[in-house]
Amino acid sequence: MATSSQQVPLLHRLSDGAVADIHFATLEILERTGLRLYDEEAVTLLKKAGAHVSEGNLVRIPARLVEWAIQIAPKRIPLYDRNGRQVMALQGNNCYFGTGSDCPHILDHRTGARREATLADVVDGMRVCDYLPNIDFVMSMFIPSDVPVPISDRYQMEAMLLNTTKPIVYVTHDLDGCRDAVEMAEVVAGGPDALRANPTACCYINITAPLRHNGEAIQKLMFLAKKGLPSIYVGSNTTRGVITPVTAAAAVALGNAGALAGLVLAQLVREGAPVVVMRTGGGGLDMSTMVSSYASPETQGYRGDVCHYYGLPIFGMAGCSDSKLPDEQALAEASLTLLVDSLMGANLIHDVGYIEYGLTNSLEMLTMCDDVIGWIRRFMEPQPVNRETLALDLIHEAGPDGEYLDKDHTYRHFREEWYPRLMNRDNRSNWEMAGGKSYREVAREKVEQVLETHRAPELDVDVQRGIRAVLERAANSAGVRLS
């Protein structure tokens, strides 16, 4: 279910002129400064297409190539659930929400303590995601510390495929991991053609720096482009003041340059290769704590304007916090970023549930955010203003002394109101009688209840075996034992 449609007005932070300036700055960075690509095949491909190559891997991409790639790249990327239903259309300003990947820690809802995450936590996380109505797609949430490191990405993929029917955004260590993840998804979809026709999974590829693209990232991008499968290629973590100049405009232009370089490469591999670009949110290095903030306000909204200018699907980032606990700060930062990403029409909004600037994930936080997203979705729905909703005859009939509780009109429309699932609107005495619980306590109980009762439908045994076979093969070639 998309939050909004083209009919909902978007929030703009930049004027048309400012967006054009950022676009031209991006073209200049790619053409004048250039970028280093740590992959020979990619360098050769770009050179053939007219890019200027020096120092072996310093590639300067002419503006016309970038403009060409923007033009031919798909503006619409559909994603399907396990049952072959198209549940997401990354296009326009449709908003979808999901978790983030690879937090080394969990804030355990059972104990309240932070500890290293395990494979069981990934499984629990996917079960909760599968249940939560406003979580549209999943990412692994945790790095499992109790499985062999070289194949931990395969364990994550297996846990995601087994425990939720929702679309998956996966992250892998390298090209081999990416191949294995795709093969696992193909097993579930019923073969390579089935997966290509109805893609259920999308690879999130991150690069070292906007102008420095590591070999693994490029190889994954080219592999997926060849297969015609979707990927997300963002212009890296653009920590302002460190990886980019500290000012928002430069950070957005540099990040854009990194993302568009990937877009060019993907289109050269296969015209029409589906790529999601950019990443909203996030921000600067806090110059006092040295932490790279997940919720700073400066660049919020900028990237949306630039991406909408291209019409390309946007990777969002919201529902996350720098707080160490799922507390008041966490909910404030999560709610603000979720609202901003929705208002600017980001399509694939990830990192919901992150605390501690992306090092810790919390199922309580995720569950609280789900309710916040419900609020935002209702807020973003178009509000019709017409004869029925203005109800002038009703107002006139009721007159100045009338009331509306028992009217048919009220009965017809009251279900359109949004009701929270966890947020409390009880009067005080009822709330006290029910235990006087905080929002977080209610969320914790919800998590416990979901983990006890909710399971995604099991995959066929043969399919499960097929996934395991990929995992076993990876374990063999890495020389590690399955745990």
Partner 1 sequence: MANYESLKQAVIDGNGARARDLTQRALDEGRSPQDILDSALIPAMDVVGDKFARHELFIPEMLVSARAMQAGLAVLKPLLSEGESRARGKVVIGTVKGDLHDIGKNLVAMMLQGGGFEVVDLGADVKPARFIEAVQTEKPDFVMMSALLTTTMLSMKETIDALQVAGLRDRVRIAVGGAPVTERFAKEIGADFYAPDANAAVLKARELAVRA
Residue ranges binding partner 1 (CB under 8 A):
38, 104, 116, 143, 149-150, 152, 173-174, 208, 212, 214, 239, 241-243, 285, 287-290, 359
Closer residue to partner 1 (CB): 288 or 386? 288
Task: Say whether 285 sits in a helix, a strand or coil.
Answer: strand
From the CB of 57, what's the least distance to partner 1, in Å? 12
Give phi and psi for 265, each to the nearest 5: -60, -45
User: 269-292: buried (b, 16+ CB within 10 Å) or exposed (e) per residue?
Assistant: beeebbbbbbbbbbbbbeeeeebb
In the complex, what is the shortest distance from the CB of residue 283 to partner 1, in angstroms, rounded to a whole number? 15
Smaller CB separation from partner 1, 3 or 244:
244
- How would you class 48 by CB atoms within 10 Å of its CB: exposed for 0-12, middle for 13-18, buried for 19 or more? exposed
Q: How far is the CB of 157 from partner 1 (least distance, A)?
A: 15
For residue 9, give Cα distances in angstroms to 93, 279, 342, 344, 454. Answer: 9, 21, 11, 9, 37
Q: How far is the CB of 242 from partner 1 (least distance, A)?
A: 5
Between 150 and 192, name the residue whose CB sits nearer to partner 1.
150
Instruction: Map residue 103 onto helix, strand or coil.
Output: strand
One-letter amino acid identity for 423? Answer: M
Instruction: Report the run of H or E that residue 53 belongs to, with start and end.
Output: strand 52-54
Q: Is residue 76 within 8 Å of 347, Cβ to Cβ?
A: no
For partner 1, which is the closer residue by CB, 116 or 271?
A: 116
> Which of residues 329 and 464 has its CB atom nearest to partner 1 in the complex?
329
Minimum CB distance to partner 1 smaller for 45 or for 143: 143
- Spatial distance between the Cα atoms of 362 and 386, rounded to a whole number of angstroms: 43
Q: Is 102 helix (H, G, I), strand (E, B) or coil?
A: coil
Which string of b and e fits 56-65 if b means at least 16 CB within 10 Å? ebebbbbeeb
Smallest separation, CB 282 to partner 1 (Å): 14
Toward partner 1, which CB reaches closer, 293 or 335? 293
Per-residue burial over 166-196, b = 16 or more CB atoms within 10 Å of its CB, e = otherwise: bbbbbbbbebbbbbbbbbbbbbbbeeeebbe
Give the shortest CB-280-to-partner 1 separation in angstroms: 21
User: At its nearest, how many Å lie between partner 1 and the CB of residue 277?
Assistant: 21
CA–CA distance, 114 with 136 (Å, rounded to integer): 26
Q: Classify 88 in phi/psi space as left (phi over 0), alpha (psi -120 to 50) or beta.
A: beta
Q: Which CB atom, from 209 or from 344, has the smaller least distance to partner 1?
A: 209
Nearer Cβ to partner 1, position 214 or 367?
Answer: 214
* Shortest separation between residue 287's beta carbon and partner 1, angstroms: 4
Bridge partners (DSSP) listed for residue 58 = 36, 54
Q: How far is the CB of 42 from partner 1 (least distance, A)?
A: 15
